[in-house]
Amino acid sequence: MEMKFEKSLANWFRNAREKHRSWLTAFYIFLGLTVVLNIFIRPHHPHFVYDYLPGFFAVFGLVAAIILGRVSKGTAHTFLGKDEDYYERD
């Protein structure tokens, strides 16, 4: 039973990977939908100054992710990253 379930799950994922284009389109539609809905659904008590604006958290999420990715990778490349045997060497 368990094996069968695992096999069909594996096949489902294999198929899904082949159709990644359609998944990507669905994802963009989903993103658009969250912003459109945001025009009608707003916070009752905004915490920060601008979060009553529709799409505030879309911008926040995207910008934060890019800043984090860029800054952390940049730091790793300039001075934090070392070879894996760094501490084993004398």
What separation in angstroms does the CA of 12 have from each of 8, 15, 46, 79?
Answer: 6, 5, 42, 43
Q: Is 72 in the site for other proteins (CB under 8 A)?
A: yes
Q: Does 50 bind other proteins (CB under 8 A)?
A: no
* 1, 50, 78, 84: residue in contact with other proteins (rule CB under 8 A): 84
User: Which of 17, 48, 54, 2 has the alpha carbon at shortest distance from 32?
Assistant: 54
Among 22, 23, 53, 73, binds other proteins (CB under 8 A): 73
Token output for 65: 């992710």
CA distance 49 to 41: 17
41: contact with other proteins by CB under 8 A: yes
DSSP state of 48: S
Interface residue list for other proteins (CB under 8 A): 2, 5-6, 9-14, 17, 27, 30-31, 34-35, 37-38, 41-44, 47-48, 55, 57-66, 68-73, 75-76, 79-84, 86-87
